[in-house]
Structure 1
Amino acid sequence: MEPKFQPTKEGYYGQFGGAFIPELLYPNVKELEDNYLEIIYSEAFQKEYKYLLNQYVGRPTPLYLSKGLSKKYNASIYLKREDLCHTGAHKVNNTVGQILLAKHLGKKRIIAETGAGQHGVATATVCALMELECIVFMGEVDIKRQAPNVARMKMLGATVMPAKSGSRTLKDATNEAIRDWIGNPEDTYYLIGSVVGPHPYPDMVARLQAVISEEIKAQLLEQTGKENPDTVVACVGGGSNAAGAFYHYLEDTSVELIAVEAAGLGVNSGESAATSQLGEVGVIHGSKTILMQDEYGQIIEPYSISAGLDYPGVGPLHAYLYETKRATFLNATDQEALDAAYELSRVEGIIPALESAHALAALNKMDIKAGQVIVLNLSGRGDKDLETYIDNLKE
């Protein structure tokens, strides 16, 4: 049977995806498209990739049965501990893979965009490891609210370039990165941090993050005797951690997939990033997907307390999962995410990233049956969000 949730040769998931790019970038994207699968699945690449994931990133990450949450919901709730990866989030799975790819293609200069700063840190980390020049574009607003990650990037030798246009967040950082790439097509590799952008990036990033669900299957089998949970839950901005957690379950409809977006101050408050609820079909950053736009096709500025979910679009795979109803899309407000973060901290001694806290908050909105087996992808740790947590902490 043909897999339904793999992209076509042109990079389409249903009507979503493709490569909508300026002509100047066509050679770069074509070079990547022609070579990425062959390189990624070559013996040499796989050997080095697996070595670095094990010895450098710290994989496999634990699949931890949360006693506190399981008791509260009368279910078995497992946390996939991506927060324990080197650099503090799932982002490094992708940057390790893409930096090896860039080296295979002979690129010497690496550019990246970042919102929460985790992808920036993960990119700066692997550039330091491989002795490559690193430039990270980051919105001015995010630079201020994610100061610890900015300091980390600089310490790792990266140049952090502020994006000063628009909402000065992730969307604008991505625009600046694309502009740079157009200006430096020969020696530069654009290391995209999520399942967004022109084909083949969404597929490539999903494949590199698929290690998450690969491990979940093996770990669940070991702990419960079954590879499949009833439900997998993950937060979605661009959606790479969700793509990784869902990947090996996409074709198996017996596994429920739940994607959780950021509702900000409320879905209809005008201050939200709940793309699937507010968006329409359009093109952003090189791919056709669902994005928040006005009647003239101008992008509506998103808002979330969480810098990593503060994005007006969603990856084309997720747009397709939404359209086909393969995944259920829920959302959580700033306050719900904060409350869920404080709860996990107090019942498990784990301080989650604000992004992951949105996934935790969705547990309250799910129709959980007694004994249900739920895997929640805890995509990152909360160090970078401590200032926000402290500002909102109620005695």
Structure 2
Amino acid sequence: MTGPTGGLEVGAEVEVDVTAFAHGGHAIARHEGQVLFVRHALPGERVRAHVTSAGAGERFLRADAVDVVVASPDRVVPPCPWAGPGKCGGCDLQHVSLTAQRALKAGVVREQLARLAHLEVDVEVEPVPGDDAGLDWRSRVEFAVDDAGRAGLRRHRSHAVVPVDHCRIAAPGVDRLEVTEHPWSGLEAVDAVAPSLGEPVAVRVPEDGSGPVVRERVTTSWSGADGTTVTFDREFAVDARGFWQVHPGAAATFLAAVMGELDVRPGERALDLYCGVGLFASALAEAVGPTGQVVAVESDPSATEHARANLADQPQVAVVTARVDDAFGVARPSRRGTGRRSSAPRRAARSPLLPPSADVVVLDPPRTGAGKAICAEVARLRPRAIAYVACDPAALARDTAILAEAGYRLDRVRAFDAFPMTHHVECVATFRAG
């Protein structure tokens, strides 16, 4: 089935050879000059692809592999019966062996750094302690609710709800809530949360009043600046629907990676940007000691309220409730074309709590990355080291290029498989001046 210009159109099926794996969890194939991003396929395979949608300007097509003509040796039977074309969209790599999943993700990180930052970096995706098979790890799952009140998971690129029996990557505590076995009439979603401390909770969305608060414990260790082993063991309060790493081993793993690279010394000044409820700020405070200073910035008021409580015994920490760009006094872009009454850029004054310089900086931005303005402001602080925690390799690569222009070289990248069975990968990058 072809469109008016001779290319494939939505609904068409065609046999294609898969040549590569792309950022976003799709394999790449071509048919008569058209690029197809094919889910549920692997490089080296020949598949029958069903075209599901067209990209902007029909420059590319999205498709599902509905039949495998020639299979890759890395292909396995998906452990979840709800994974596959037209089913749950949460896991896009259930058909791939765990070792091959990590190899594909490492390739994506390398490709993004090469394409966007012009750096050739050898990256290996490391497993996160806590799961051996890539299943039973996700401690926070949002179940969508359909018009009939049934809870399930969303189909890929759709609002349709797939009424699964249970999620195979969900932690046992999530499964114990049996969310999919109960009616939830009148709700949009149910968030199932299995914290490391206490009982799992099911949060109704929308909530009636304030949601529950859960407690998470982080225990880990790393080598300090003097070569001795530093042990960290601390509890954190966080809103059940607030941000916390969903893999039980992720928070400890990322914290050890960051602190092990920064070599924070007593008396130093540190910044924790996008600080959440204070995980990195707390470890930084222990490292700089009572003669040092930590400034933690977070835009979410509830998170900063918890951060102040979590860090109440560490008076060397100042928690600032603000967007990071506002805290630096960076003007937000104009909103022309949005239909809003005011189209002028928002002017911001630099927070007096932000110091003029810093020895070390931790950046843990959202998926879009820190961006040019924030990277420039961080560089102006002239830290000796920057630790960047990234949930998107493309955003990391873009910001790596920006930091390089500002005089900061990429010293090391570690990648972690914090989201098995999905295309997502977490990176911890270290930058140093010079």
TM-score, normalisation: structure 2:
0.27
Q: Which has the larger radius of gyration?
A: 2
Q: Select the structure with the greater relative contact order (CA < 8 A; seq sep ≥ 6).
A: 1
Q: Which is helix-richer, 1 or 2? A: 1
Q: Which is strand-richer, 1 or 2? A: 2
TM-score, normalisation: structure 1:
0.29
